[in-house]
Amino acid sequence: MSILVYIEQDQGKIKSSSLEAVSYAAALSEKSGDKVNVLGCGTIEDADWNQLGKAGADAIYHVADERLNSGVIQAHAHIIAQVFAKVDASILVLAKSALGDAVASRLAIKLNAGLVSNVVGLPDMNAGFVVKRSIFTGKAFVETAIPAENKILAIKKNTQPIKTDGEEVSVESLTVDLPESVFAARITEVEKASGEVLLPEADIVVSGGRGLNGPENWGMIEGLAEVLQAARGCSKPVSDLGWRPHHEHVGQTGVKVAPSLYIAIAISGAIQHLAGVNGSRNIVVINKDPEAPFFKAADYGIVGDAFDIVPKLTEAIKALK
């Protein structure tokens, strides 16, 4: 038996969350001894394939049909099911995402598989197959057993560090059965939020809150984000007031993020905002109120006036660069 990893790409670039999924599979392989097979669909840049071997892939397969670039769910699920059988896999690993969730649910039926989403740790295989997953927007965890022979694991972002010391692996092109019927639903247009770095894929996010007093003060957020090559976010009150566009709203009812570093500036830390950022690897809070709830969730906190601290922080980072 073996492991199959399904990777996602965006405009030819492999997503970092998918590289985490490959590294997760590599760590799982060390426990199970199974081969790690990786499948990519659509157009992917040549330079990006090298990352997969370094992340832990043993074999890489590519279905290059350009119709797959738009992420048609039925088509991707149809291909994965075929490759799953071809490599004699028993475990499918993929990143938890909008596309990943939709594909995984269909494959659970196609493969008669047990599906666990929001996985945050390697399975315990001492007595069966038990995985840890987060529930209640990250407020709690549960151990879930998968008794089914075939298993699907949707990995939560920041669960596994990306491996970089693997060997380069050649890419094998695959021809699969791909009838027109799987393209019955078509994606005719995709509108993406503008900006140099988009929130869902950002490794660093800088967010501002209502404590900045108005949109005219947002330059300090933009300046810090620029030197850090970070995405910009905001709290819900800020977007509700029209200071910032709604696609920058981070929180339970906005965009959920899980960057390596989340910097919250002048945000009190309401529970709805925390639910959208608690997957972050490191949280830094800057707030002049020492009793701000956000400090309880912070890895690092600075008590002080953002108008004094943020410009100095930005200049210090520029000097380091």
CB 199 within 8 A of CB 233: yes
CA distances from 28 to 55, 151, 211, 279, 301 (A): 13, 13, 45, 21, 35
Q: How far apart are CA 175 and CA 120, in angstroms?
A: 34
Report the 10 Å Cβ neighbour count for 113.
20
Report the 10 Å Cβ neighbour count for 315.
12
Give helix 46-55 / helix 16-32 axis angle, nearest 10°.
30
113-119 and 150-155 as β-strands: parallel, antiparallel, unpaired?
A: parallel
CB 158 within 8 A of CB 260: yes
Those residues with Cβ within 8 angstroms of residue 19's Cβ, 6 or more apart along the chain or in another chain: 7, 51, 52, 55, 162
> Is position 106 annotated in a ligand binding site?
no
Q: How far apart are CA 301 and CA 283, in angstroms?
A: 8
288 φψ region: left (φ > 0), alpha (ψ -120 to 50), beta (else): alpha
- Grouping H, G, I as helix, E, B as strand and the rest as coil, residue 116 is strand
Q: How far apart are CA 114 and CA 41, in angstroms?
A: 23
Name the binding residues for FAD: 210, 287
Return binding residues.
Answer: 210, 287
